[in-house]
Amino acid sequence: MTNFLVNFLRVRRLESVSWLPVVSGWVLGVIATRERVLGIGDDGIFAELSKAVSVPGPLDIGAWWEVIAYFTLTTLAVFALSHLFFGIGGGVFMFARGVHDNFLIVYLETTIGAWSISRTPMSEVLTVLFILLILGANLPLCIWSGKLGVQRSLYTLHRLRKEPIKPEVGSKPFSYMLMIVAASLVVGLIATVVFSHL
């Protein structure tokens, strides 16, 4: 009974701790870019790192198939990169994602703030809708996949230290990733329809 309780608490702690680097990394990335902390902006190492885990704005995408690729592959990239350095990679790459996403948030703030009902062009509405799909659908899926990647890497760390932990804790993230990829494909198809009308 004691071993079961210890294992249960370890699993719950592992799942809870896995959110921390991913969510806090993204939030700090947005804040650091907005406040220009340490000169973080649209160039530099974090801007380069963000290219691996971010969906560009619609003006930076060349073809419709790139939309589906970005929406799907970003979730897989975050999952894979979150394994680096036993979860630290999740925080670093989501920080970079926050650096990129801040510019999309600023675009939304300035664009929607200047809208008038009678003079808003349809292309601008569709651009905003595309960005909302990035921030409202792709971002949560990336955060979830990053959490699963961190969880899987912490599970590996427990195994390397020969600490008892159930094998399903390590295999569960892969089954959830199938759902994330499927959801990403659906969102990518919706974003492709929006993109094709821009």
Domain boundaries, the chain: 1-196
Q: Which residues contact 111 (CB under 8 A, 6 or more apart)?
A: 124, 127, 128
The closest of 11, 10, 53, 65 to 29, measured between CA atoms, is 53
Tokens of 82: 């979150």
- pLDDT tens column, 93-149: 999 999 999 999 999 999 988 887 667 788 899 999 999 999 999 999 999 999 999
Which range is least confidently modeled, 40-54, 84-98, 180-194? 40-54
How far apart are alpha carbons 177 and 12 in whole angstroms?
Answer: 19
How far apart are alpha carbons 116 and 109 in whole angstroms?
Answer: 14
How far apart are alpha carbons 84 and 90 in whole angstroms?
Answer: 7
pLDDT attached to residue 35: 84
Q: Which amino acid is at 156?
A: T
pTM: 0.90
Asked if pLDDT for residue 1 goes beyond 50, the answer is: no
Tokens of 74: 């970003």
- pLDDT tens column, 15-50: 788 899 999 999 999 999 888 776 666 678 888 899
| 46 in Cβ contact with 40 (< 8 Å) | yes
Under the banding of pLDDT at 50, 70 and 90, the label for residue 11 is low
- pLDDT tens column, 161-183: 887 777 777 788 899 999 999 99
